[in-house]
Amino acid sequence: MPKISNKGERMPASPIRRLTPYADKAKAEGKKVFHLNIGQPDIETPELMLDAIKNINFKVWAYTPSEGIYSYRKKLAEYYNALDYNITADNIIITNGGSEGFIIATQSCLDPGDEIIVPEPFYANYSGFACMSDAVIVPVRSAIDNGFALPPISDFEKLISEKTKAIFICSPNNPTGYLYSREELEQIKTLCLKYDLYLFADEAYREFCYDGQTFVSPMHLQGIEENVIVIDTVSKRYSACGARLGFLITKNKRVLATALKFAQARLSAGLVEQIAGEAAIDTPASYFENVRKEYAERRTILVEALNEMDGVFCPNPGGAFYVMARFPIDDADKFCQWILEDFSFQNETVMLAPAAGFYGTPGAGKDEIRLAYVLNKIDLKKAMLCLQEALRVYPGKTIPNLAVGVRTI
């Protein structure tokens, strides 16, 4: 039998989707499954976006320019300039989702074996994207006890080698919800300038910041314009994950010229998606105000419920729609499979994402779980009751023991 590639062997499976067969089996058995495992919002997509698709009248479903439709890029530039990014349409390349934006960025800026330092836990697919480009993720640990704040900059510097070519941040963060401050970004900026590193920034959750906190982009920092590459997407902003439409944004002309060659090799992003995306930019501010309010209320329900459970600790995130919580369990992978396979409460159960897959360090996050508050408030409360009962009866529950750390009940 022919062998698959070494790269195929290295390619990690998604911790977000790995347990899908168990969820499907639970549903087949008649159980209701609350999906807190994946960032698929139940928020309605803006009508402007959907109406643009309904009203399409082209007679030929044609290729678009590899860099994206000009009118769309021009309108996007206006959107970003309202946020003080100071760019033009020529600073934007439209991609097939933010995922392709990251892949094209790494292919344009890194050679095989080059390293990207990423605070962990991080979005699990970063590892897969890096694998596609033969790049190497080097994790730097953030801690749940301080809410996953930026690790000390000295921890970053210790990891820098001749192979280091970039630092990658996500703010507001997936999976932790942490929102980086201007002071933290200035520290990263100083390091990038000192070692001439790229600064990749995933800004998929820009619109979702809470408690009056302000979003700061590396695009707002002075003197680092040539180093910054922003990856963005319509998926979360407009609750349009299925559109698979994203952007690579940079002021570095050499990177843009190189990225365009990779964009040309895959031909173009979708025409229909770009038509819808262009219309979406006119979405009124009230849409985002209402969505932020809804997410903030869901966050309160989730965080309060988790912290009221015996032995659970969950920081209160500043943005996005995720939390990372620590549970009194022996192994999150086992627990997340068990709750689907062997447990139900009132014929309901919960699908969760074990945190180990969001860490690059082996063994890290074994007792942590990511939860996405993407369900309506009624279902979210039901899911929390279900989870509380599951923890009560889980055979691998642990309790603190000051002498030996943790023991299983």
CATH code for the domain in which residue 160 is found: 3.40.640.10
pLDDT at 400: 55
- CB burial class (10 A; 0-12, 13-18, 19+) of residue 61? exposed
pLDDT at 14: 75
pLDDT at 221: 98
Which residues lie below 8 Å from residue 211, measured CB to CB, with a gap of 6+? 296, 318
Q: Per the domain annotation, does 247 fall within a domain?
A: yes
Determine the Cα–Cα distance for residues 74 and 104; give it in Å rounded to an integer: 21
Q: Which domain holds residue 227?
A: 47-280
Same domain as 309, residue 204? no
Q: Per the domain annotation, does 239 fall within a domain?
A: yes
Determine the Cα–Cα distance for residues 215 and 306; give it in Å rounded to an integer: 26
- CB burial class (10 A; 0-12, 13-18, 19+) of residue 31? middle
Same domain as 188, residue 151? yes
Same domain as 211, residue 300? no
Same domain as 233, residue 179? yes
Q: Per the domain annotation, does 1 fall within a domain?
A: no
Same domain as 356, residue 246? no
pTM, to two decimals: 0.93
Same domain as 174, residue 52? yes
Count of structural domains within the chain: 2
SS percent in the chain: helix, strand, coil, step 5: 40, 20, 40
Same domain as 241, residue 297? no
Determine the Cα–Cα distance for residues 399 and 132; give it in Å rounded to an integer: 41
Same domain as 29, residue 162? no
Domain stop point among 264, 280, 296: 280
Same domain as 142, residue 249? yes
Domain stop point among 254, 280, 306: 280
Same domain as 307, residue 235? no
pLDDT at 408: 37
Same domain as 301, residue 191? no
Question: Could you give the residue ranges of the DSSP H alpha helices within 253-331?
Answer: 253-265, 271-280, 285-308
pLDDT by 10s per residue, the chain, length 409: 998 898 888 888 776 678 899 999 999 999 999 999 988 899 999 999 999 999 999 999 999 999 999 999 999 999 999 999 999 999 999 999 999 999 999 999 999 999 999 999 999 899 999 999 999 999 999 999 999 999 999 999 999 999 999 999 999 999 999 999 999 999 999 999 999 999 999 999 999 999 999 999 999 999 999 999 999 999 999 999 999 999 999 999 999 999 999 999 999 999 999 999 999 999 999 999 999 999 999 999 999 999 999 999 999 999 999 999 999 999 999 999 999 999 999 999 999 999 999 999 999 999 999 999 999 999 999 999 999 999 999 999 886 543 334 433 4
Q: Per the domain annotation, does 71 fall within a domain?
A: yes
Domain stop point among 265, 280, 295: 280
By the 8 A CB rule, do 148 and 364 touch?
Answer: no
Q: Helix, strand or coil for residue 112?
A: coil
Same domain as 113, residue 12? no
Q: Phi-psi region for residue 405, left (φ > 0), alpha (ψ -120 to 50) or beta?
A: left
Q: What CATH number has the domain bearing residue 396?
A: 3.90.1150.10
CA 93 vs. chain centroid, Å, equals: 20
CA distances for 356 relative to 70, 122, 375, angstroms: 42, 10, 23
